[in-house]
Amino acid sequence: MPRYSKNYLTHVIIKVDFNNMLPIDDNLPSAILEVAQKTFPLLEPTPVIHSKIDFSADGVTVTKEEKGIEWRFYGANKEKTLVIAREGRHREKTAITIDYSKYESFNSLKDEFLSILNKCAEVFPEAKIGRIGLRYVNNININERNPLSWNNYINAALLSNFRFADDKKSISRVFSNFEMKYDDMSIKFQFGMHNPDYPSPIKKKIFILDYDVYYNGICDKNDVPDMIDKYHDKIISLFERSIKDRLRDKMNA
């Protein structure tokens, strides 16, 4: 994380969902394009076709196709992605998503996100925020012989499932889901060894710590900066509880 010289982050994602559908299917306003391309200079709009199924009075299923554009922007080296697109089962809402595959600082992520969010709120004053979330995915990859030995690196409370197997060499996946609720803040914490070679037994020493903190409900855009700060602080706290000093040493090496 930010206090370390090295991290194991493979994705850092920040996302806001609007409760309503913004008119962006055919055109993204130039004011939003200008702000987005300051930090995401590569624009690759992607045409999409959405199928919709309706049921008529006589029971006949009718499929309708709706065409639109998913507005995709990338950093200069494609190390980060911005997507502005319609989402939902019936494409009834619009979402803004930023995904960093190379993470440098929370302040940069926050500033880029807020500049785009604020411009969208200015151009579309009817936009109503219905969900805001921040997610950090750590893919801890260590080159050591015993792939299931994490006692030196990970909090023992997160390793209890490993003890159940009578033959540890037979394990092909160990993954857990832990959900928490703090007032209006929800947390989904996923952790364990997902195993890229599944269903073969685990051979690679890779442990995932995936923290997803979010709020579902209407909120004012002016509250978003403080909410993001609070989510970031909570993720840092959970991460520090999840690891041991041996892993801290590796991240500071």
pLDDT in tens, 170-222: 899 999 999 999 999 999 999 999 999 999 999 999 999 999 999 999 999 99
What would the mean pLDDT of 111-133 be, rounded to a whole number? 94
* Percent of the chain whose pLDDT exceeds 70: 91
Q: Interior CA angle at 243 toward 241 and 249, to 5°?
A: 130
How far separated are the first and last CA of the chain, in Å rounded?
14
**Residue 87's pLDDT is what?**
78
Pinpoint the alpha helices (H) of 74-136.
106-123
**Residue 64's pLDDT is what?**
58
Q: Interior CA angle at 249 toward 243 and 253, to 5°?
A: 135
Element (H, E) at 229: helix 224-242
Domain ranges (residues) in the chain: 9-127, 134-253
Q: CA–CA separation, 19 vs 23, rounded Å?
A: 13
What would the mean pLDDT of 20-29 be, rounded to a whole number? 84
Q: Interior CA angle at 11 toward 192 and 121, to 5°?
A: 130
**Residue 169's pLDDT is what?**
84
User: 181 CB contacts (<8 Å, ≥6 apart)?
Assistant: 187
Residue 162 has pLDDT above 70, yes or no: yes
**Residue 19's pLDDT is what?**
86
Whole-model pTM?
A: 0.91
